Structure 1
Amino acid sequence: MTVDLPVSPQDRIVIVGSGIAGSCLASILCARLSAAGSSRRIILIDRDVHGLPGSTGHAPGFVGQYNELPVLTELAKRSVKHYLGIEGGFDQVGGLEVGTGLQARCEGAKKAGLQARLLRKQEVLDLAPGFVRSDSLEEKEDGTAGLFFASDGTANAKAISHNQQASAAAKGAKLLDADVTSITRTATTTYCLETSLGPIETAIVVMCTGIWTSQLLPSFSSTVVSVAHPYSYSIEHASQAKTPFIRWPAHHVYARDHGSSDGLGSYNHAPVHVTPDQIGATAYGQWEPSFDQVLADGYGLLPDVKARSFEGGHKFNGLFSVTPDGLPLVGRLDEGLYVGVGVWVTHAAGSAGLLADMVLGAEADGDEALKKALDPRRFDGQGKLAEKALGKYNDIYNKDG
C-alpha cells in the first residue's frame, strides 16, 4: 500500500504526533512556509489526529508561567502569548498559590517580568470562594496567606490543538490518521516511516510523540520516562463565575473550576514508572489503587461541600512524560531528524516556535541559551537518567504546567 502525498519527499516535513506540541508546530510551520511562498508541505500524522489519544487529550490545562528554571518561564511566556490569539484556547483567570515560600516566588516572578502579588487571608478566600478552607489558611507574620499570578490561566488543550490543526490544513497541510511503527534512515537525505497506511518517505521528520517516543526511538527510554498521575472531576454543577486555579505546593495538590465541574489532581505519592510495554493506544493508564487515598488526602484541603462534590465524580490515571532535568527535549537529533518531546501544555507553543526556527534554519538571535538547554542530546554519556527523571515527578511545582 502506498500513501498518496503531495510534493516529493525532499519537499515534505512530516510531524509525528498531533498533540498540542505537534499541532502548534504544524500551524506555525505552515504559516511561515505560506508567507514565504514555499513549495514545501507539512504532513501531520497520528493514530487519531482529531481524537488526541496522547496526554493532550486529558490535560487539565493549568498554565503557571513562573518557574525557578528560567528556560521554562520563557517557554511559558511565549506559549501564553500564542494561546491568547486562539479563541476559546486560554482563560486568563490567574493562578493562586497558598502555603509557604511565597515571598521568594513573588520576587522571582516580578524579576521575570510577570505580574505577581502577595495576598492576605481574606483576599485568598475572595479570589477562590469554595476552594480554600478558611480554618486551614494561615497568615504569616507579615500577613501573607497567598500569592496571585494575574497573567496565568487555564488552557483548553483540545481546543488549541484542533484550532492549530485546522489552521495548518487551511494552509496546505495534510492530516493523516495512521499508526507509525518505525522510522529508519534510507539514504543520506531521506527517512522512511512505516505506517499502517504504507511507507512515507521524507527529508525531514519531527517526533512530537510524548509517551510513545521510546517505542519509536529506543535511545530515549531513559530520558523520556512515562509516569502515572491521578486526576479527578467532581459531579456536574451549575455554571459559576470563573476563578483562578489553585495550588497547594507543600501538599503537591492543585485544583480548578472546569465550568460544569471542578477538577483536582495530586502528585503527593511516590512516582509510578510506566514502561513502554505497558503503554497502550491512549495516554490513559490502569488505575492505581493507592491513588484513591492520594486523592482523598487532596480533597481534605477543600471545604467540606466542595470535597463531597467529588463523590460520584470521575477519576483517571493520566500518563505523561518526565525528563531527568525537568526540561523538554527540543531540537535536532540528527540531520533531518528533530524531536519535541517531554513537552507540557504550559510550554508547548513556545517549544513549537523554537523548533520551527530550527527546522527552517531561521533561529532567532538570543535563543542560543534556550537551544542549548533543550538540546535532546544533552544527557549523552550520563548515567541513572531514568531514576533522575522519576525524581522530578514530585517537583511539579518547580516546573508548573
Structure 2
Amino acid sequence: MTNRIDDAAPEDFSPEQEQQRLPQHSFFYRLYTGTGALDVIGHRKRWYAITGAIVAIAIVSMIVRGFTFGIDFEGGSRVQFPAEGVSTSKTEEVYRSALGHDPVSVQTVGVGGNATILIRSDALNTDQVSKLQGALFEAFHPKDKDGKADPAAISFSDVSETWGGEITKKALWALAAFLLAVTLYITIRYERDMALAALAALGFDLSVTAGVYSLIGFEVTPATVIGMLTILGFSLYDSVIVFDKVEENTKGILHVTRRTYAEQANLALNQTIMRSINTSLIGILPVLGLLVIAVWMLGVGTLKDLALVQLVGLIVGTYSSIFFATPLLVSIKERFGPVAAHTKKVLAKRSGAGRARVGSAAASRAGAATRGSDLVTNGVARDHGPRSQATGAPRPGARPSGKRQKRRH
C-alpha cells in the first residue's frame, strides 16, 4: 500500500501546495472573511517607509508653512448684522472701501430670516468702527427686530488672543491626562508593549492631522484643538480592537511551533480589518453630513472646524491602527524576549523540515522515473516537485489547520 497525499499531515505540504488544496476565493471574499487577503505584518518595512514619509511631509509642512490661526488665537474684531439682501462679496467690497484693507473672513451664518453676515477682521479702533458701521449701514440698511433700519443692528465685539491660548493650554492638560490614563489601562489590561505601540499610533495621528491643517491651510480654531481630542478616542478604540484579537490569537503561542507571533498577529489584522473599515465608514458618513450642513446650509464656523478635524482624524486613525500600531507591536516583540526566541525556533524548524521535504520529493521523483509514471490521487500529484519556498509557513492570515489526519497504508 502507498501513502495517500490527500491524507498527509498539513505540514507535509509546501505553502504553494497547501494553498492549492484549499478553495480559491477572490481578494474581496478573503478580505471580508478575514482569511488571508493582506499580509500586512510580512511587509511591515514597506508600511514603516510609507508612515515615515507621511510624518516627514507633515513635519516639514509645519516648519515651512506653519499654521493659519483663527481670530481666537490672533485676536481681532467681529462684526455681525442681518444678512437679508446682503452678499459676502459686496460686504468685502464695502469693508475694503471703508478701511483700505481686506477682512480676515466674511461668511453667512444661519439660514432663512435668522441668517447674519459675520465679518472677522484685525482689531479695530474706535474711528475704524465708526467708519465701517457707517459704510455698512449706507450700503445695506440693516433692520432691527422691529423691521426698522437701524445702525445699532450692526454689532461689534473684540476677541482677545489670550482666550484661544487658554483653551489650548487646557486642551494640552486634558491630552496629558488622557495619554496617562490610556497608558495605564492598556498596560494593566494587556501589556506594556501594546501600550507603547498605541501611544506611537496616537502620536502619528496627532502629527499627521496637524500636518494636513498646515499643508492645506485650514484655519486653526479652539474647535480644532478640541476636535483633536475626539479623534484620539476613535484611533485608540480601533487599535485596542486589533490588540484584543492579537492577544486572543497569540495566547499560548510560545508552547507551539506551528506559527510565529507575527503570523498570528497578521491573522488578527485580517480578522478585524473589515470591522475597522466598516466602523470608519459609519463614522465618516455623519461627519460628512455635518460638514455639508455646516458649510453649505448653516455656515457655522465652529461646526465646520469640528467636522474637518474629525474627518481627517478618522481617516488617519484607521490607517495607523491597521498599518502602523500592530506592525510596530510585532517589531517590538521580535526584537528581544521570549517571542524573539520563539520566532527563531519556529523558523529553524521550518528550515530543517523544508530540506527534509525537498529530499523526500527528490527520492519520490527518482522512484517515479523508474516506474515511468506518477501516481495522482484526487487530482493532486503525489510528486511534490521542486519548491521555490520550502519554508512550511502558513498562508498570510490563513486560519490554523485542524488536527492531523492519520496516514493510510
Q: Same fold judged by TM-score > 0.5?
A: no
TM-score (norm 2): 0.24
Q: Which protein has the bigger strand share?
A: 1
Higher RCO by CA contacts (8 Å cutoff, separation 6 or greater): 2
Q: Which protein has the bigger helix share?
A: 2
